[in-house]
Chains A and B, each alone.
Chain A
Amino acid sequence: MKLLDFVVQKAIVPDLVVSSKDDAIKAMVSSLKDAGIFKADDEEGVVAAILKREELGSTGIGKGVAVPHTKHPSVDRLVATVAIAKNGVDFASLDGEDVYILFLLVSPPDRPGDHLRALETISKHLRNENFCNFLRQSKTAQDVYDLLEEADNDQLDQ
């Protein structure tokens, strides 16, 4: 599975400025809605589902990255967006550090296998330090998109 199979180009947020974890999630879901991924009516439900998941344990997995995710019937395919927060967000991460790179994933409930493959794909790339460093330096949505493409094509050194 490739990142660009499910990352929505129009929803990438290269300059996320927020003061809390909740606001970060709201902004990213809102960006997916603006890209036409789901109806405005469903926005609140998706945010609530993701926050509920965060309550069980943060998806801030350390090294400045977080992967908030949920399953929700408002989407009919896997969708994700990427946000870069230059100033960092307190995400109650495992290592206590702020988060700078966020991948937010929403999948339909009846595709549990694809959901896990997508989480695996994201996690695999985020383990590459080069990928993370370049992502944090991205200035535009196009920069982020190009980087995801390079990662998909294994053009980045480990």
Chain B
Amino acid sequence: MNIVIFGAGTVGTSIAEILCENQHDVCVVDVSREVLDVIEEKLDIQTVCGSACDAITLFQAGVITADLCLAVTTHDEINLVGASLAKAMGASRTVARIFETRYTDTSTFDYKRHFNINHLLSLELLTAVELAKQVRSRGAFSIENFVRGEIEVQEIAVEKSSKAVGISLKDLKLPKGVRVGLISSGNQTIIPGADDAIKAGDHVSLIGTRDTIESVKKKFEHKAPSRLNVVIAGGGEIGFHLAGILQKGRFNVSLMESNEKRCEYLAGKLDNVTVLHADITRVSEMEEARVGKADVFIAATGRDEDNIVCGVEVRELGCSRIMSIVRRPDYANVLAKLGIDVSVSPREVMAKQVLGLVETGPIQARSSLFDGEAEIWEVEVHENAPITKAPLKDISLQQCLVAALERETYVKVPGGEDQIQAGDNVILLVGKDFTEKSLEFITPVKDS
């Protein structure tokens, strides 16, 4: 594939690296010749010096024949304009990184449609989603995210005397945004129909939007587990999004931020979060915030060094689970040695997205459930795929469930009357013996 990247910062460079490793032709555009020289020494890529908003520069970089353009400079506006220009000039697909998530809100104005950009990605939001996933997964049960964090797949064990036991799925009255994807009773795993019922001890996988999954979990539990105390250090965009996600779950969330103005802003936006005005580099202030008593501590400031140091500090104070954002790959080795349990890097989060985008087939991402009994696919539906030819109820899918559908910017769990269209993103749940058969439904057929 021909891929043009706008912006040779940390994100741009690491994307270029990943794509080079995967044998793609990469050209990087940046306004600074010096930055380009550094990256050129490391990687076998083309570079063009100039602005991503300048059509002549973009022409030189080859966007006209590009399969993919990724605008990842540090300015939202440059990314929006650059990606839009690239698309208009001929690039097949464009992605703009955005910092301000208000650009993804379409209520008043639809930026994505106006600029004709395929995806607006907020790396900060995606990183927060990844961190939240780590915080929320307790015990052995996994949580997976799809469609840029919009859709979640969660495994849970059905407890004895929970409300759902013995009730058929159609009588379970699950809300619209969620469905039971798989039921596993030890020796067999099925994709259930409306009449199947859940037994105590079964494992089920729930698929749906994050908020709705959180709200139906209690149907499968005897009683809700105790709330965990979570402390987040750093109220930047990542900390803000993370607190926003966790406050809806079973967590008592405290958010520490050193800038007073920012604290006021955060307190105004996050109703169920305790916002503390505190400097995380001062031990006394950390003690005051009772971080030692927290169940989980997440260091999410803008500086790797601060995140690592305060992580170690909090471990000393007695907190049992430490997570940290670490941007520079060089630090990866020392983290485990320092007792930091989980580190999430925005680079890796971006890498996952980018690798999905360079997939040539319809499947953008896949993962397995219940020890390989079933697979989850994130699929981009192309023109002429058989699945688009009729409403879902008339398509004879076998052990293959269309669990979620993303059209425009709306995600929903489709019903039988819904018809899949080209351009939709769908989440398919596929039984292990039916993968080939299911693939036929999403592989475009040429008109004869």
B and A form one assembly:
yes
Q: Which residues of A contact B (CB under 8 A)?
A: 41, 45, 49-50, 52-53, 55-57, 69-73, 109-110, 112, 116, 119
Q: Are B408 and A109 in touch, CB under 8 angstroms?
A: yes
Closest CB-CB distance, A76 to chain B, in whole Å?
14
Q: How large is the interface on B (under 10, 10 to 19, 20 to 34, 35 or more residues)?
A: 10 to 19
In the assembly, what is the distance between CA of A72 and CA of B408, in Å?
Answer: 10
Q: List 17 A-B contacts (CB under 8 A).
A: A41-B176, A49-B107, A52-B107, A53-B108, A57-B102, A70-B107, A71-B106, A72-B410, A73-B408, A73-B412, A109-B106, A109-B110, A109-B408, A109-B409, A112-B106, A112-B113, A119-B108
A73 touches which of B107, B109, B114, B407 (Cβ 8 Å):
B407
Taking CB atoms, residues of chain B closer than 8 Å to A53 are 105, 107-108
Q: Are A69 and B107 in touch, CB under 8 angstroms?
A: yes
Residues of chain B in range 373-431 having any CB-CB distance to chain A below 8 Å: 407-410, 412
Q: Which residue of B lies closest to A73 (CB)?
A: B410
Closest CB-CB distance, B404 to chain A, in whole Å?
14
Q: Which residues of B contact A (CB under 8 A)?
A: 102, 105-110, 113-114, 176, 269, 407-410, 412
A116 touches which of B109, B407, B409 (Cβ 8 Å):
B109
Q: Select the residue from A45, A69, A72 with max chain B CB neighbours within 10 A.
A: A45
Q: Are A71 and B107 in touch, CB under 8 angstroms?
A: yes
Given A71-B110, A112-B113, A112-B114: A56 in contact with B105 (beta carbons within 8 A): yes
Q: Select the residue from B105, B106, B107, B412 with max chain A CB neighbours within 10 A.
A: B107
Interface of A, helix, strand, loop or mixed by DSSP: helix
Top 9 A-B pairs ranked by shortest CB distance? A53-B107, A70-B107, A109-B408, A112-B110, A56-B102, A73-B410, A71-B106, A41-B176, A56-B105
Closest CB-CB distance, B49 to chain A, in whole Å?
36
Taking CB atoms, residues of chain A closer than 8 Å to B412 are 73
Q: Select the residue from A56, A57, A69, A72 with max chain B CB neighbours within 10 A.
A: A56
Taking CB atoms, residues of chain A closer than 8 Å to B176 are 41, 45
Closest CB-CB distance, A146 to chain B, in whole Å?
29
Q: Which residue of B lies closest to A55 (CB)?
A: B269
In the assembly, what is the distance between CA of A49 and CA of B113, in Å?
Answer: 18
Closest CB-CB distance, A25 to chain B, in whole Å?
12
Q: Are A110 and B408 in touch, CB under 8 angstroms?
A: yes
Taking CB atoms, residues of chain A closer than 8 Å to B408 are 73, 109-110
Taking CB atoms, residues of chain A closer than 8 Å to B410 are 72-73, 109
Taking CB atoms, residues of chain A closer than 8 Å to B409 are 109
Taking CB atoms, residues of chain B closer than 8 Å to A41 are 176
Taking CB atoms, residues of chain B closer than 8 Å to A110 are 408
In the assembly, what is the distance between CA of A57 and CA of B408, in Å?
Answer: 23
Q: Which residue of B lies closest to A112 (CB)?
A: B110
In the assembly, what is the distance between CA of A45 and CA of B407, in Å?
Answer: 16
Taking CB atoms, residues of chain B closer than 8 Å to A55 are 269
In the assembly, what is the distance between CA of A71 and CA of B410, in Å?
Answer: 10
Taking CB atoms, residues of chain A closer than 8 Å to B108 are 53, 69, 119
Q: Which residue of B lies closest to A67 (CB)?
A: B108
Closest CB-CB distance, B212 to chain A, in whole Å?
10
Taking CB atoms, residues of chain A closer than 8 Å to B107 are 49-50, 52-53, 69-71
Taking CB atoms, residues of chain B closer than 8 Å to A109 are 106, 110, 408-410
Q: Are B407 and A52 in touch, CB under 8 angstroms?
A: no
In the assembly, what is the distance between CA of A61 and CA of B109, in Å?
Answer: 17
Taking CB atoms, residues of chain A closer than 8 Å to B110 are 71, 109, 112
Q: Which residue of A lies closest to B177 (CB)?
A: A45
Q: Are B105 and A52 in touch, CB under 8 angstroms?
A: yes
In the assembly, what is the distance between CA of A70 and CA of B106, in Å?
Answer: 7
Taking CB atoms, residues of chain B closer than 8 Å to A57 are 102
Closest CB-CB distance, A3 to chain B, in whole Å?
19
Closest CB-CB distance, A31 to chain B, in whole Å?
19
In the assembly, what is the distance between CA of A55 and CA of B269, in Å?
Answer: 7
In the assembly, what is the distance between CA of A55 and CA of B408, in Å?
Answer: 21
